[in-house]
Every structure is written in structure tokens, then in C-alpha cells.
Chain A
Amino acid sequence: AQKITQTQPGMFVQEKEAVTLDCTYDTSDPSYGLFWYKQPSSGEMIFLIYQGSYDQQNATEGRYSLNFQKARKSANLVISASQLGDSAMYFCAMSDYTGTASKLTFGTGTRLQVTL
């Protein structure tokens, strides 16, 4: 079974600073995907970034980058130059590629608060 662990219930960061949100995972499957989603107070889940288990380079999307360390089974999200609009819940998720639709397993989330 797959498992995602997010050990930081809440984080604070000052505007314009960088912040790292931690995510560790556990799986016995050789092929998997790792995702980060943002959930603002409105409730909608917004896709941020994806990393495949066979990807050699860390994924980047604008101010978001994923620090993928396969041997340590970690997939931390780095947000550079934080903005007030980044305040939200952030969820790490993993999918399996066992031939069916890619079911996601989610962590419990980290609440990020960006301050002035």
C-alpha cells in the first residue's frame, strides 16, 4: 500500500522568502507519480507540479520546484519568492500506475501562511 507523510501541520514564511514543504512517501511499486496540490480557503484543489519516478531531473513550474530524492523517498515542494496569495493548504499526493486510472493517495496537508 502507498503512504504519504507530511509532518508539518503549519508553516509561516515572510513575503518574498522561499519555503520548503516536506513530503515523504512509501511504496513498493517501481513506477509512480508524485503531485503537489494547493487548496485555498475556497476548497478547490489546484494542481501545481508533477514528478515521475523515472524522471532524472527535478520538476519545476514557475515559482514551484519539486526536490525529488528517490533514495530517501522524499518529494519536497519549494516555493520561491512567496506571495500573500500562496497562503493555503498544500497537499502532497502519489499515484500508482497499475494499469487502471491513476488513483491518488494524499497526505494530511501543510497549512502555509505568508506574512508581510
Chain B
Amino acid sequence: DGGITQSPKYLFRKEGQNVTLSCEQNLNHDAMYWYRQDPGQGLRLIYYSQIVNDFQKGDIAEGYSVSREKKESFPLTVTSAQKNPTAFYLCASSIRQGASFGEQYFGPGTRLTVT
């Protein structure tokens, strides 16, 4: 079955440690995205990538880093510089449609808790 996988579902880390969240898709989608969701709020864009080896900052990129070495994979690293890393992280992907991109499909999310 085609889809987006994120692992792990729950992640616990100590303050000061970097942590990498995995996102893999087998939909052959061109673009991939990372969002953060805090309780009672909508999603905010962290980083996005529309092609391999290229990515752009979203609205809240500080304290995060990404890579896009393969079309299928877009891992997110939450660094120790991120002041409030505890949140629900969602990865998404979309297919190129001419000059634009189609609707975004989301993975199941990773809930990160930093203490």
C-alpha cells in the first residue's frame, strides 16, 4: 500500500539532545513538508522540499534542520537550539501538477516529548 510512514509514533528525549524524526513516502510524490502542531492549535510549517537536494525554510525553521538526499525520504532533526521542542510533528507530501502541486497527504505523526 502506498503511503507516508513516520517513526517512531512516540519519542522521548532529554533536554539538550538532538533528535531525528523519520519520514518516508512511497507515493512517488515530488514535494515533502514538515509541520508542527501544538495543543489547541493548527499546523505550522517548519521546512519543505520540492525536489531532491533542495529545501526551504517555512514559518518556524529556527532550531530545526532537514535533508532531502532521496525522493522518498525527508528526515527532520530537532536540535538543542529549539526552545520548545515538545509537540506533535507531521510530515506530508504532494505531487507536482504542472507548475503547482496537488493536495498534501499526511503521515500518522510523531509525538515528541522533551524533558
Contacts and interface: CB of A to CB of B under 8 A. Distances in A.
A35 B41 CA distance: 17
Interface stretch (B19-27, B78-86, B104-112): B104-112
B92 interface: yes
Nearest to B110: A43
A56 interface: no
Q: Is the interface of A mostly helix, strand, loop or mixed?
A: loop
Given A91-B43, A108-B42, A102 B109 contact: no
Which bracket fits the contact residues of B? 20 to 34
A4 B40 CA distance: 15
Contacts of B35: 104
Contacts of B88: 43
Given A43-B88, A47-B104, A101 B42 contact: no
Nearest to A9: B40
Contact of B44 (A47, A97, A106): A106
Interface in B56-115: 56, 58, 88, 90, 92, 94, 99-109, 111
Contact of A101 (B31, B44, B108): B31
Contacts of A109: 41-42
B100 A43 contact: no
Interface string A38-75: 00001111110010000000000000000000000000
28 contacts: A35-B103, A43-B88, A43-B90, A43-B109, A44-B106, A44-B108, A44-B109, A45-B43, A45-B92, A45-B106, A46-B106, A47-B106, A91-B43, A93-B42, A93-B43, A100-B48, A100-B56, A101-B49, A102-B101, A104-B43, A104-B104, A105-B45, A106-B42, A106-B44, A107-B42, A108-B40, A108-B41, A109-B41
